[in-house]
Amino acid sequence: MSLPSLSPVSPSASASAAAPTQAELFDFVRRAAADTDLIDSLPLDPEGRTWVRLAGPGGSEAWLIGWPPGTGTGWHDHADSVGAFVTAVGELKENALAARLPTDGWKTLELSDGVDRQRRLTAGKGRAFGRHHVHEVLNESSGHHAVSVHAYYPPLPQIRRYSRSGQTLRLEQVERPQDWQ
């Protein structure tokens, strides 16, 4: 049985007054990832990622995402949003930085040794994260799709995209909602 709060919504869905916590976002994505009817409803494309927007808790932005083999996000952050995601099908790898980066006024940073973190998230596994969390998410499988559920609050004001070469992180682009809707 699907939970009503997990149904796809349009981008104009209204927000409720209470801001969800990281724990509430994580609980939501965990429950959504366990909803087999919801997961099975996502059309999968062999060439590129697919997604459906969901009604997240407390006006959060939530997404059901399909990952073809060999796809990923590239290095990015979610600006001032907190978030959570859980793998529903397959396995995702998250590379992350265990360092708080300055939010503005830089284009290139030299990262310290020891800031890299890596997680393998199989079906049912996920994580919550705070503001300015820099990471990349990958489906490294050569033959199987992965599916995951993500939620962010406040709804994404922007995404900063980075390139990385060794210990050098470079800000490449700032995207705003109108760039991806």
Tell me: the pLDDT tens digits for 80-98?
A: 999 999 999 999 999 999 9
Closest to 30 in 3D by CA, of 123, 153, 95, 133: 123
Inter-residue contact 127 to 84 (CB < 8 Å): yes
CA dist 79 and 83 (Å) reads 11
Predicted confidence at residue 121, as pLDDT, reads 98
Confidence of residue 181 (pLDDT cuts 50, 70, 90): low
CATH topology for 18-97+118-157? Jelly Rolls (2.60.120)
- 1: pLDDT strictly greater than 60: no
3-state secondary structure of 50: strand
The whole-model pTM stands at 0.87
CA dist 95 and 76 (Å) reads 11
Closest to 75 in 3D by CA, of 123, 32, 31, 109: 109
Phi-psi label, residue 81: left if phi above 0, alpha if psi -120 to 50, beta otherwise:
beta
